[in-house]
């Protein structure tokens, strides 16, 4: 029995249904043929040119990314644009691309939950519940807020975040000695959910892509913010997810390799 692209899509739909994507998002098969037999799968955060070349080298004809290759409809597909170069190279090498974005963030067991688990959060609630979740679903939605296993000072929490998410650097604001009991986590770009997290009693918010004035205001209100970067707050979740996908495929009776990208790196460098 051969694994096909549609089988991977069905596995993803069972675990992180596309109905949980945000209205602005684009998820699912971005490029390719649902009936194509899969050789190996390369999991990455982004479908960069280096990831495409890695897939070619490793004989992976399916790239599964978190960030959608096609977020907005392109006006043309030519080698004059970065997106055009990617699409043409993918088609030339018969590589399929599947993306699972905000649905992978939101769903039970998705990146929100993975990161909250890595940080040992207890009694978690969802910051913004999904509008399409069913009555018995108390989890699906954007962001998690819960209690740390034991209270930590802000500076101690920063060290824990660096260790648990394997990030070498982070930015933070707030009193280093502030005791953190209730912690909010919004992976990726979570600034638009800060107000909700504050209203739910967060002592500290962890996310990426924060802006100066927004963080300054929250600092004045006594709420600490840890910016571990967009990549940093998602890559650890992608690592765990790739292992889950491998197990899910094997559970279905398939033996295809699932590889975690070795070339997909944080574009930011620190000096």
Mean pLDDT of 87-91: 98
Q: State whether 14 and 36 are in the same domain.
A: yes
| 32 inside domain | yes
Domain count along the chain: 2
Q: How far is the C-alpha of 119 from the C-alpha of 157, rounded, in Å?
A: 9
Give me the sign of the Cα torsion angle 45, 46, 50, 54: positive
3-state helix, strand, coil in the chain (%, to 5): 35, 25, 40
- Answer whether 133's CB lies under 8 Å from 140's CB: yes
CATH number of the domain where residue 93 is located: 3.40.1390.30
**Per-residue pLDDT, 14:** 96
Mean pLDDT of 110-118: 97
Q: State whether 255 and 171 are in the same domain.
A: no
Q: State whether 87 and 112 are in the same domain.
A: no
| 271 inside domain | no
Residue 44: which pLDDT band, with cuts at 50, 70 and 90? very high
Residue 155, pLDDT above cutoff 90: yes
Residues tagged in the binding site annotation for a divalent metal cation: 66-67, 105, 230, 234
User: Using the 8-state DSSP alphabet, how is residue 4 labeled?
Assistant: B
| 219 inside domain | yes
**Per-residue pLDDT, 222:** 95
Q: For residue 247, what is the enclosing H or E element?
A: helix 232-251
Residues 186-226 have pLDDT tens digits of: 999 999 999 999 999 999 999 999 999 999 999 999 999 99
| 267 inside domain | no
Residues 244-262 have pLDDT tens digits of: 999 999 999 999 999 999 9
Q: How far is the C-alpha of 251 from the C-alpha of 245, rounded, in Å?
A: 10
**Per-residue pLDDT, 75:** 87
Q: State whether 126 and 221 are in the same domain.
A: yes
Give me the sign of the Cα torsion angle 240, 17, 15, 146: positive
Q: How far is the C-alpha of 184 from the C-alpha of 122, rounded, in Å?
A: 11
Q: State whether 141 and 213 are in the same domain.
A: yes
Give me the sign of the Cα torsion angle 41, 42, 43, 48: negative
- Answer whether 198's CB lies under 8 Å from 223's CB: yes
Domain that holds residue 218: 108-230
- Answer whether 5's CB lies under 8 Å from 98's CB: yes
Q: State whether 91 and 124 are in the same domain.
A: no
| 266 inside domain | no
Residues 216-230 have pLDDT tens digits of: 999 999 999 999 999
Q: State whether 81 and 122 are in the same domain.
A: no
| 196 inside domain | yes
Residue 73, pLDDT above cutoff 90: no
Q: State whether 80 and 164 are in the same domain.
A: no
What residues pair up with 98 in beta bridges, in sequence order?
Answer: 29, 64
* Length of the chain (residues): 271
**Per-residue pLDDT, 168:** 93
**Per-residue pLDDT, 135:** 87
Residues tagged in the binding site annotation: 66-67, 105, 230, 234
Residue 39: which pLDDT band, with cuts at 50, 70 and 90? very high
Closest CA to 60 of 259, 239, 251: 259
**Per-residue pLDDT, 72:** 85
| 169 inside domain | yes
């Amino acid at each position: 029995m051969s694994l096909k692209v549609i089988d991977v899509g069905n596995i993803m739909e069972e675990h992180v249904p596309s109905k949980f994507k945000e209205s602005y998002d684009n998820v699912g098969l971005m490029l390719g043929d649902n009936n194509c037999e899969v050789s190996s799968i390369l999991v990455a955060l982004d479908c960069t040119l280096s990831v495409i070349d890695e897939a070619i080298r490793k004989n992976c004809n399916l790239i599964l990314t978190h960030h959608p290759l096609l977020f907005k409809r392109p006006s043309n597909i030519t080698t004059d644009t970065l997106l055009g170069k990617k699409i043409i190279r993918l088609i030339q090498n018969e590589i399929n691309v599947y993306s699972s974005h905000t649905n992978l963030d939101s769903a039970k067991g998705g990146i929100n939950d993975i990161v909250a688990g890595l940080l040992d959060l207890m009694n978690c609630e969802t910051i913004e519940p999904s509008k399409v979740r069913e009555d018995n679903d108390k989890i699906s939605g954007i962001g998690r807020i819960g209690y740390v296993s034991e209270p930590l000072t802000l500076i101690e929490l920063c060290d824990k975040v660096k260790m648990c998410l394997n990030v070498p650097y982070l930015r933070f604001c707030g009193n280093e000695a502030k005791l953190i009991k209730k912690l909010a986590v919004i992976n990726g770009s979570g600034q638009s959910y800060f107000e909700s997290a504050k209203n739910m009693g967060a002592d500290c918010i962890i996310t990426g892509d924060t802006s100066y004035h927004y963080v300054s205001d929250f600092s004045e209100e006594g709420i600490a913010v840890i910016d571990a970067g967009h990549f940093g707050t998602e890559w650890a979740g992608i690592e765990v997810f790739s292992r889950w996908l491998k197990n899910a495929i094997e559970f279905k009776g398939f033996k295809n390799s699932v590889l975690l990208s070795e070339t997909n790196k944080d574009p930011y460098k620190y000096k």
